């Protein structure tokens, strides 16, 4: 084994990442600047309203909420960083497979993989503790070791449970019943989301877990503003599921185009999916909220259903606005719009009127972009 050659492979791997970032720098800067402007505008508009709500929460509870969020994020760092690590060890084609087929010894390639894995873990946890963990809470050394160990355990669990890609199997999707084109495409995507798309299933599972956590917080008489933030996070995760499925669809979009699927039909497919997800998770959110809080202040509690359902309803209106094959851009757009509208609904029920107007205008703006994407 040559450690120098392993270090050189590490350098090549990271250089490849920075070269890709360099070529996409202009586009990424535009996204970053636009997101900063929108977030700044959102903070400026709702600054006084949010400050009044925060002042109503005692400082001790604010510190406890910040510590709780930091703890949850600490646990999520492990599973999140497990995704690029799995790609490093298993993805094809990759620098690992190229080095192996070029004659590098297995020990050298294995040392490269261990070094790069250590770099990814160290960088992820260093950034977390520097910018989130330490600023958001007071931690003792045993607690840091405890949460760090649990996070690494979750990362190992996700790597262990990650199944290898199975060979493609072809079988009839539907029976012989009469079915419209929209129904067929909708049924196909439901099966993809719930049976094959692991990221979509993970997002929906985390969304339901957040709803349960919100119900527990309400049962513990936590501030209602915390339940609203959890509802926003849950709604965003629900919207992530069809967004990641859209990314998969765009890799084989020629099929829908070959059968002359129109822009309206394709958007209608995702509109059906979004409406059903919004209805299902909105109903579960309100049931869990009533179970945790009771029926006191029912109109306020019902806002959680509207805020949860808001985010998936935004997807059909923005799916062809920027780049349907880049789900993170869509998720950022949905998050920014959802923050604006969700906070408005939290402030007053009348803000719900804005939603159909915004959706109608956005759909007209992306008219016929299905064949241009």
DSSP annotation of 370? G
More confident residue, 110 or 298: 110
What is the tens place of the pLDDT at every residue in 159-208?
A: 887 655 554 443 444 444 445 778 888 888 898 998 888 899 999 999 99
- In DSSP notation, 135-190 reads HH----HHHHHHHHHHHHHHHHHHHHH-PPPPPP----SS-SS---HHHHHHHHHH
Task: Report the distance separating Cα 189 and Cα 185, nearest Å.
Answer: 6
Say what the pLDDT of residue 177 is.
44
Torsion sign, CA atoms 279, 280, 282, 283: positive
Residue 141 has pLDDT above 50, yes or no: yes
Say what the pLDDT of residue 179 is.
55
Nearest to 318 by CA among 326, 199, 303: 326
The residues spanned by each domain of the chain are: 1-20+60-162, 180-373
Say what the pLDDT of residue 1 is.
57
Helices 3-23 + 25-45 axis angle, to 10: 60
The tokens for 271 are 């509109």
């Amino acid at each position: 084994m040559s450690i120098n050659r392993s270090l050189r492979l590490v350098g090549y791997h990271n250089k490849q990442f920075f070269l890709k970032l360099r070529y996409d720098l202009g586009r990424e800067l535009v996204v970053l600047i636009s997101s900063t402007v929108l977030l700044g505008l959102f903070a400026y508009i709702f600054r006084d309203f949010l400050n009044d709500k925060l002042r109503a929460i005692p400082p001790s509870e604010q510190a406890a909420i910040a510590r709780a969020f930091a703890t949850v994020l600490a646990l999520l760092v492990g599973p999140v960083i497990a995704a690029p690590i799995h790609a490093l060890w298993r993805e094809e084609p990759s620098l690992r497979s190229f080095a192996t087929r070029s004659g590098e010894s297995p020990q050298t390639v294995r040392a490269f993989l261990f070094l790069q894995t250590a770099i990814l873990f160290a960088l992820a946890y260093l950034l977390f503790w520097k910018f989130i963990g330490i600023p958001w809470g007071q931690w003792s050394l045993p607690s840091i070791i405890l949460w760090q160990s649990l996070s690494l355990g979750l990362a190992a669990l996700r790597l262990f449970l990650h199944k290898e890609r199975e060979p493609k199997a072809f079988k009839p999707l539907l029976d012989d019943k009469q079915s419209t084109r929209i129904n067929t495409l909708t049924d196909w995507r439901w099966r993809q989301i719930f049976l094959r798309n692991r990221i979509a299933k993970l997002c929906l599972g985390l969304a339901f877990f957040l709803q349960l956590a919100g119900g527990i917080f309400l049962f513990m008489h936590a501030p209602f503003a915390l339940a609203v933030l959890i509802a926003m996070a849950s709604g965003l995760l629900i919207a992530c599921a069809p967004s990641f499925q859209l990314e998969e669809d765009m890799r084989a979009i020629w099929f829908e185009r070959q059968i002359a699927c129109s822009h309206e039909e394709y958007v209608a497919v995702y509109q059906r999916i979004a409406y059903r997800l919004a209805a299902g998770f909105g109903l579960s959110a309100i049931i869990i909220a009533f179970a945790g809080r009771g029926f006191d202040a029912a109109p306020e509690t019902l806002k959680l259903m509207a805020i949860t359902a808001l985010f998936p309803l935004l997807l059909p209106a923005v799916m062809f606005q920027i780049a349907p094959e880049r789900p993170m851009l869509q998720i950022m757009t949905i998050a920014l719009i959802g923050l604006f509208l969700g906070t408005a609904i939290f402030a007053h029920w009348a803000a719900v009127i804005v939603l159909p107007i915004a959706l109608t205008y956005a759909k007209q703006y992306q008219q016929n972009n299905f064949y241009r994407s």
